[in-house]
A and B are shown apart, each in its own frame.
Chain A
Amino acid sequence: MDKEYLKKLFSRSDWDEDTIIEADKIVSRIAEEYLGLDTYPNQFEIISSEQMLDAYSLIGLPISYNHWKFGKDFVMNQNNYKKGRMGLAYELVINSNPCISYNMEDNTTCLMVLVLAHAAYGHNHFFKNNYLFKQWTQADAIIDYMVFAKNFVAQCEEKYGFDEVEEVLDSCHALMNYGVDKYQKPRKISPNEERERLKKKLEDDQVFLDDIWRTLPKDKIEKARERRFPDQPEENILYFIEKNSPKLKGWQRELVRIVRKTAQYFYPQGQSKVANEGCATFTHYEIINKMHEEGYLGDDFMLEFFHHHSNVVFQPAFDSQYYSGLNPYTLGFNIFSDLKRMSLNPTEEDKKWFPDIAGKGNWAETFRYIVENFKDETFVLQYLSPKVIRDMKLFSIQDEQEASYYEVDAIHDEYGYKKIRQNLSESYNRNRYVPDIQVYDVDVYGDRTLTLEHTPVNKRTLDSGSMNKVLPHVEFLWGFPVRIVEDGKEIGTTKK
């Protein structure tokens, strides 16, 4: 089809399926040839605002098990939306294969092309290639798994009762942040090792059972008793409960597993907001400019596009009433754009900071390399450039518990770049918002009390109100009392 025709088609504000199909032909070509993106097939769904609210409440999953929590999210979103306190996103995209994106029916043609490039190619590429997503999620299986989860929960409700199922799910949800593996579980041990272990275990049993041993030196027994269970602290509390809880029934274990799997599926998203949104925003920006360059888009289209784009990357200053933290779209987009700039037009500074990139002209390759191998923490640590720090006028403040004042720790100058990088990177560390709590010990020989250990980071302490509300949930799942310690001191317990 000739360009003039397409240009006219895209400059109309209303669209139909053909518009999207034609746009997709161009977008997919540019994504592949110009940016080298590798994506899942796309399923582009058109939905109404009410359906978008539905999608929100299931965090974008097209299907999930039934629970009041989702109803609550729905009601809250609906209230906010109806009162005009909240706008709805233009799109919502799911890490699945095919990659499903929901797109609002009242988007204009320009917005549709924008979200097509942004979600169906940008996010899609990120989902398919980023190492966290590759390692921790199965895009092929998630929809089927959620269908299974929904049916399983429904069956349990029928068999064991609504309240019984809800009780388990409520407790699991309270531990959802602790249903996540951050590191690969050790591989299955080989038969040889298994034999060795069994031999060792039998020997140990002798220590306890054989009367002759009783006459032997005490310290050997003591030593065996000193061994904790689990041997190593376990960070995935739900996993530990699923495998080891003495009281859970089979179906309850399966419910724990479902929540744990769901939490794991969403784990990479929390770790890669900046990189992911940066990737999608950079992608739509590059693709649409390229389309304009190739003559598919008119100036009127571009005017509207820039309007939307600048809304997406709007970053209010810290003292503005609209300020609510750094906008991940802006930060990610700025970093990627600056990498492109220094790859093509480097300054002396760039050559010093990024010798492998500055002037090398390999920006698209660099972009793909980062998308594949980084999460927010590492992405910011390695690629936040002095120019982006200066452009955004980033500064860092130190807030010490004891001090009655804040201290400005670093600003956008020669001395501050590295510190800002460091501090910002740390703020994306998961332990900044999810306290480090692990299963430490079980009193195997006594009353089976489960001990959790909180390891404070930067002297931060747990909020005791919420802690005391969560512990009974842990106790419910574990079946025996639960205590929590910090630096060897007990800070909470369900024991009477």
Chain B
Amino acid sequence: MSINIVDRRKNSKGKSSENRQRLLKRVEDQIKKALPDIVKNTNVKDLTSSKDSIKVPVKGIGEPQFHYDKDSGDKKHVHPGNKEYTEGDIIKKPQGGQGKGKGQKGSKDGDPTEDEFTVSISREEFLDYFFEDLELPDMVKKHLNSIVDFKQRRAGYSNYGNPSKLNITRSYKNSMARRMAVGMFFDKKIKEIEEKLKETKIKANERIELEKELDRLKKMKLSVSFMEEVDLQYNNFEKVAVPVTSAVMFCVMDVSGSMGEKEKDIAKRFFMLLYMFLTKQYERIEIVFIRHTTEAKEVSEEEFFNSRESGGTVVVTALELMNKIIKERYSKDWNIYAAQASDGDVWDKSDALDCAKILDLDILNSVQYMIYIEICRRNEGDLWQSYKTVANKRKNFEIGKIDEVGEIWKVFQDFFKKKTA
């Protein structure tokens, strides 16, 4: 019997992917626990743009078995490669019970499953874990409110329609079936008459009748029309409402002298988190960067994070600019999100009050959600105070404090905790 050679190389490779998914499910808690560390230690750019997988260390997930205590009992081991030993030689046991005999059975006695190992997860999987428990506030509501666009979608076939949507193949099929069916009816009759005519005993006048009938039937068969109204089929389309899938995110940051590198880094990471979150929810996202000292300016991302200015702080200018941009560019069909980061310094108390006013009266009416984070500030300044009153009043405005990079994730989570129904 000759050998059966099967080349499996073309087969799909992911035979273990299902089992891998189950493992991931099993270690889900560990992965989630590791997230803050990953956020903390990973460069923002890598986290958001790298295509590489992300490595998560996982502590042994036990598969317990009954096994021996490896130090117990009397054992005999056979080893190869004796050099100098003779029978009766005595070898001191190493301290700590680590027998030399561990080579042979040691691996079996120990629990090899408790080893730590790493699971690599793709960026998509990472983001899924990242945002699993979070949900953008009121997003569902907004979706319902903001149905703005309609798309044409195929919806089977219909018997009515305009000629441009005629489905030729289906119509032709129908016509063919109809012609065959009707044709067969005539064929049958014609055959019957022909059979009768073949019989010899038919009287002459009967024969004439039959021949007339035959002629009539043949003509009728020819008159079956090629295409009739009932054959026609049209492609059918439906109008479907689609939610707006574009969002704009405003990043507002104080870049005055008091904001150091550390503060900016925290702000940046927070913005990136928000950005990543939005990427998961919307097909298209625009980001507007506004930075301000005493004056506000719309800048590029590069400039936003990297250049540094000195000077005082007038926060309200930034909000005014943001309000203006919203009115000019994003007043229709946009889901608007805003995040503001600051060390909480304001020019004077009236600035803080102005900010609260413009938020309450104007901006918060058009944005979906706005977050304010205050970085590295111990006491509650004027801005915090006045924002707090707004936050208490408005559902779509939240404020939070961050002192360390490690706290970002926690604060972020608090903002977006899935509301338990």
Q: Which of B88-96, B161-169, B279-287 contacts A (4 or more CB under 8 A)?
A: B88-96
- Residues in B with CB closer than 8 Å to A95 are none
Which residues in chain A, 440-479, are within 8 Å of chain B measured between CB atoms?
A: 456-464, 466-467, 469-470, 473
Contact B19 A408 (CB under 8 A): no
When the two chains form the complex, which single residue of B15, B64, B70, B115 contacts A469, counting CB atoms closer than 8 Å? B64
**Measured CA separation A72–B85 after assembly (Å):** 43
When the two chains form the complex, which single residue of B4, B61, B83, B100 contacts A44, counting CB atoms closer than 8 Å? B4
When the two chains form the complex, which single residue of A68, A178, A461 contacts B69, counting CB atoms closer than 8 Å? A461
Answer whether residue A254 sits at the interface, using C-beta atoms and an 8 A cutoff: no
Shortest CB distance B6–A (Å): 5
Contact B13 A393 (CB under 8 A): no
- Residues in A with CB closer than 8 Å to B1 are 41
Contact string against B for A residues 225-246, beta-carbon threshold 8 Å, 1 for contact and 0 otherwise: 0000000000000000000000
Knowing A54-B16, A71-B22, the reply to whether A79 touches B78 (Cβ < 8 A) is: no
- Residues in B with CB closer than 8 Å to A43 are 4, 6
Contact A405 B76 (CB under 8 A): no
Which residues in chain B, 1-40, are within 8 Å of chain A measured between CB atoms?
A: 1-9, 11, 13, 15-16, 18-26
Contact B82 A395 (CB under 8 A): yes
Shortest CB distance B273–A (Å): 28
Q: Which of B41-49, B104-112, B300-308 contacts A (4 or more CB under 8 A)?
A: B104-112
Contact B66 A395 (CB under 8 A): no
Contact A400 B66 (CB under 8 A): no
**Measured CA separation A166–B25 after assembly (Å):** 12
Answer whether residue A191 sits at the interface, using C-beta atoms and an 8 A cutoff: no
Answer whether residue A67 sits at the interface, using C-beta atoms and an 8 A cutoff: yes
Contact B76 A399 (CB under 8 A): yes
- Residues in B with CB closer than 8 Å to A463 are 66-70, 109
**Measured CA separation A101–B87 after assembly (Å):** 45
Contact string against A for B residues 107-134, beta-carbon threshold 8 Å, 1 for contact and 0 otherwise: 1110100010111000000000000000
Q: Which of A132-140, A294-302, A429-437 contacts B (4 or more CB under 8 A)?
A: A429-437
Knowing A70-B19, A326-B104, the reply to whether A407 touches B72 (Cβ < 8 A) is: no
**Measured CA separation A376–B39 after assembly (Å):** 53
**Measured CA separation A67–B67 after assembly (Å):** 23
Shortest CB distance B78–A (Å): 4
Contact A405 B20 (CB under 8 A): no
- Residues in B with CB closer than 8 Å to A45 are 5-8
Answer whether residue B260 sits at the interface, using C-beta atoms and an 8 A cutoff: no
Q: Which of A211-219, A338-346, A351-359, A409-417 contacts B (4 or more CB under 8 A)?
A: A409-417
Contact A470 B90 (CB under 8 A): no
Shortest CB distance B249–A (Å): 36
Contact A324 B107 (CB under 8 A): yes
Contact B78 A324 (CB under 8 A): no
**Measured CA separation A427–B61 after assembly (Å):** 29
Contact B63 A105 (CB under 8 A): no
Shortest CB distance A106–B (Å): 11
**Measured CA separation A416–B100 after assembly (Å):** 21
Shortest CB distance B19–A (Å): 3
**Measured CA separation A423–B18 after assembly (Å):** 44
Residues of B within 8 A of A (CB): 1-9, 11, 13, 15-16, 18-26, 61-83, 85-93, 99-101, 103-105, 107-109, 111, 115, 117-119
Beyond A47-B9, A51-B15, A433-B109: 17 further Cβ-contacts under 8 Å? A21-B3, A43-B6, A71-B16, A72-B61, A75-B20, A176-B65, A318-B80, A325-B104, A397-B100, A399-B101, A405-B93, A406-B93, A408-B85, A408-B88, A416-B87, A459-B74, A464-B69
The 4 A-B pairs at the shortest CB distance, nearest first, are namely A317-B81, A460-B73, A71-B23, A71-B19
